[in-house]
């Protein structure tokens, strides 16, 4: 039986050992190979037209000029507004089982970062299994001490929102990571990763169920030394406007004059992307279209550019982030 599944591949729940993330991934990989089946992870940015364009550009540029990626910065904000008393009943993208944003939408960006980092290994050796990193974590109990009770009362929230209604060991809400990939103690690539659920939401908490009104914000910067900088910016603010205009998405690529070859700055917006990919309607959601493409490719016998084995670097990075997070124990109040 072939498998097409969503993330998380293997979650970190409760007090489970961090090492189980890697161990269970390897067990799944071994079982897949022994059974001789296809095992594909739904990770839509691997087939999203904008990211495919950037990845192809970077591969050509890096090969031609032999320049590595020196820094990657990724900022994701999900705008997921969940009130304390709702956490115990939440099953879709839950927090009560001990895992949160890292295993929800955050995994897409962990995977994106790991795939970009892997490109560097075609230029020089780099330890992909053990990046050095530090981080800061916000949990629901932390946010509860920042959002005052009277603020919720202003919006007609009368339910109990005290700390005691938050399930013990609730998963991470926001995570900020600062890290670097190295080889034999030497710098290879720095990165920062912001994975946040605490950002603007379109949810009316007085009348709409948990999980609705999510507003995505996504910004990615990639620097290749002093020769090239790439920015990908996207958001779903149009939900706040009730607009049916094309989604906000823009790629900017700036090159040093020595390597620009006549085009110092490229800008491709959402309409321009459909011009490059005629199969992609201007009004279509880029990520939604990519998810369909992945599923269709899987049904036609392909690997959707996301076979299980190709997630090894992503699982290694996720494991290191979780290991660092375990040392950030909640402050006792």
Q: CA 298 to CA 304: how far, in whole Å?
A: 6
Q: How does the average pLDDT of the chain come out, rounded?
A: 93
pLDDT at position 333 is 32
Is 38 domain-assigned? yes
Q: Are 115 and 313 in contact (CB under 8 A)?
A: yes
- 274 within some domain: yes
Q: What is the pLDDT of residues 265-298, one digit of tens each?
A: 999 999 999 999 999 999 999 999 999 999 999 9
Does any domain span residue 332?
no
Tell me if 300 is assigned to some domain: yes
For residue 92, the 8-state DSSP code is S
Confirm whether 331 is domain-assigned.
Answer: no
User: Rounded to whole angstroms, how far apart are CA atoms 232 and 220?
Assistant: 5
Bridge pairing between strands 3-5 and 39-41: parallel
H-helix or E-strand spanning residue 221 = strand 217-224
CATH code for the domain in which residue 117 is found? 3.30.360.10
Which residue in 85, 91, 111 sits closest to 25, CA to CA? 111
SS3 content of the chain, % helix, strand, coil (to 5): 35, 20, 45
Its domain, for residue 221, covers 3-326
Confirm whether 92 is domain-assigned: yes
Tens-place pLDDT, residues 176-208? 999 999 999 999 999 999 999 999 999 998 888
* Residue 229 domain flag: yes
Q: Is residue 266 part of a domain?
A: yes
Is residue 330 scored above 50 in pLDDT? no
**Domains in the chain, number:** 1
CA atoms within 13 A on the CB side of 331: 10
Is the alpha carbon torsion for 91, 4, 28, 195 positive or negative?
negative
Q: Is the pLDDT of residue 32 over 90?
A: yes
Position 142 pLDDT exceeds 50? yes
In this structure, of 98-102, 147-151, 266-270, 322-326, the range with the lowest mean pLDDT score is: 147-151
């Amino acid at each position: 039986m072939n498998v097409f599944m969503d993330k998380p591949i293997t979650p970190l729940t409760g007090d489970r050992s961090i090492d189980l993330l890697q161990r269970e991934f390897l067990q799944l990989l071994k079982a897949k190979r022994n059974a001789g089946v296809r095992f594909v992870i739904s990770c839509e940015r691997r087939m999203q037209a904008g990211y495919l364009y950037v990845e192809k550009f970077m591969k050509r540029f890096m090969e031609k000029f032999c320049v590595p990626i020196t820094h990657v910065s990724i900022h994701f904000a999900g705008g997921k507004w969940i009130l304390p008393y709702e956490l115990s009943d939440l099953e879709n993208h839950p927090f009560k089982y001990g895992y949160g944003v890292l295993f929800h939408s955050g995994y897409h960006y962990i995977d994106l970062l790991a795939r970009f980092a892997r490109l560097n290994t075609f230029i020089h050796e780099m330890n992909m299994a053990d990046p050095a990193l530090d981080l800061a974590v916000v949990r629901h109990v932390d946010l509860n001490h920042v959002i005052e009770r009277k603020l919720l009362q202003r919006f007609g929230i009368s339910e109990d929102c005290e700390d005691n209604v938050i399930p013990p060991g609730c998963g991470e809400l926001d995570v900020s990571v600062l890290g670097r990939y190295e080889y034999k103690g030497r710098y290879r690539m720095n990165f920062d990763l912001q994975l946040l659920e605490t950002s603007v939401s379109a949810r009316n908490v007085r009348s709409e169920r948990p999980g609705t009104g999510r507003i995505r914000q996504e910004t990615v910067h990639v620097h290749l030394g002093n020769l090239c900088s790439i920015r990908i910016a996207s958001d779903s603010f149009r939900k706040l406007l009730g607009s049916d205009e094309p989604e906000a998405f823009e790629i900017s690529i700036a090159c040093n004059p020595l390597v620009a070859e006549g085009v110092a700055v490229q800008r491709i917006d959402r309409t321009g992307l459909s011009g490059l990919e005629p199969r992609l309607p201007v009004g279509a959601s880029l990520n939604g279209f990519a998810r369909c493409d992945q599923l269709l490719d899987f049904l036609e016998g392909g690997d959707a550019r996301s076979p299980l084995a190709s997630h090894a670097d992503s699982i290694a990075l996720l494991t290191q982030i979780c290991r660092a997070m375990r040392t950030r124990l909640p402050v006792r109040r």
